[in-house]
Amino acid sequence: MPASRDPAALYADIAVEGGLAAALQAAADKDGLGVSFEVSAADPLLHASVPSAVPHRSALTVSAWAGERRWAIRGCEPFQDLALVTGDTPDLVQIARAAQGWHEGAGLDEIRRASSFVRLTGRFEVPDRDPAALTESEWQHLRTEAGEKDWPQRRALVETAYAEPTLRALYPFTSHWTLRFSTSTRPRLTVVPLCLDAWREGPYTVSTRYMGEVVAETTTAEEAVATALGHLPPGLGPVTLGAP
């Protein structure tokens, strides 16, 4: 492995500090922040975390890249273990500022304003785990994700499905970009036998089983969604919590 890609070489100064948590702590203290970082038992050079003072947030994790001097964050909600914030930067002070906001329970938008590298996934916090709110949060994540990609066909499919009240009432998820639905939230999905795919070049497709036989091909997202509605099982009730 070239020296430039050797973590021990990339982060030699971090090792001198005593590990990533210690280096982040020094950066936070120098910036006048009051956040405290926890050492990773598995790999103190490359990983660290900061707990949250609010129960609806997991600890924010900080991880060093292996091939480039850079650090990434990930902050999740604990029930589904889905990311609310992500991002990466070569600046430890920016990491520390984001960690401070996460720890104190600052709003997600406020965390991003304090540290511009922070990316919001579109999901919002649902402290009471209301299934309808968790469903809407996941739809907002898929809409955000689709809007960030140079893939207009997928964006059209997600937006058209969201605009249809019957599909919007179902919990959405994806498998290798296939748009799928459930009548319960994560962590235990109750999968509806309906799959929608958008292709960069070619038709939209509808199937009733993941990686199964295509039952319809359409030229527009609107046609795909209209076709999909005819293949929905009857009697789908409100989304429930997917208990672990």
Q: Report yes or no on 222 lying in a domain.
A: yes
Check whether residue 7 and residue 114 sit in a common domain.
yes
pLDDT for 1 equals 33
Percent of the chain at pLDDT > 90 equals 93
Check whether residue 137 and residue 238 sit in a common domain.
yes
Residue 12, strand partner residues: none
Check whether residue 111 and residue 138 sit in a common domain.
no
* Count of structural domains within the chain: 2
pLDDT tens for each residue of 51-73: 999 999 999 999 999 989 999 99
If we measure between CA atoms, which residue out of 194, 106, 180 comes closest to residue 138? 180
In this prediction, residues 153-182 reach a mean pLDDT of: 97
Q: Which domain covers residue 229, as residue numbers?
A: 131-242
Indicate if the pLDDT at residue 3 is higher than 50: no
Check whether residue 110 and residue 143 sit in a common domain.
no
Average per-residue pLDDT for the chain: 96
pLDDT for 201 equals 87
pLDDT band at 22 (very low <50, low <70, confident <90, very high): very high
Check whether residue 108 and residue 138 sit in a common domain.
no
In this prediction, residues 136-161 reach a mean pLDDT of: 97
Is residue 220 within 8 Å of 204, Cβ to Cβ? Answer: yes
Q: Report yes or no on 165 lying in a domain.
A: yes
* Residue that finishes a domain, picked among 120, 146, 173: 120
Percent of the chain at pLDDT > 70 equals 98
Q: In angstroms, rounded to a whole number, what is the distance separating the alpha carbons of residues 24 and 46?
A: 11
Q: Model pTM?
A: 0.94
Neighbours of 77 (CB within 10 A): 20
Q: Report yes or no on 126 lying in a domain.
A: no
pLDDT band at 171 (very low <50, low <70, confident <90, very high): very high
pLDDT for 94 equals 98
- Quick check: helix, strand or coil at residue 40? coil
pLDDT for 2 equals 41
pLDDT tens for each residue of 85-127: 999 999 999 999 999 999 999 999 999 999 999 999 999 999 9
Check whether residue 29 and residue 110 sit in a common domain.
yes
DSSP structure class, residue 209? S
pLDDT band at 232 (very low <50, low <70, confident <90, very high): very high
Q: In angstroms, rounded to a whole number, what is the distance separating the alpha carbons of residues 226 and 224?
A: 5
Check whether residue 63 and residue 171 sit in a common domain.
no
Residues whose CB falls within 8 Å of the CB of residue 119, separated by 6 or more in sequence, listed in order: 85, 86, 87, 112
Q: In angstroms, rounded to a whole number, what is the distance separating the alpha carbons of residues 90 and 233?
A: 50
pLDDT for 131 equals 98
pLDDT tens for each residue of 65-96: 998 999 999 999 999 999 999 999 999 999 99
If we measure between CA atoms, which residue out of 57, 101, 85, 91 comes closest to residue 71? 91
Q: Report yes or no on 7 lying in a domain.
A: yes
In this prediction, residues 134-138 reach a mean pLDDT of: 98
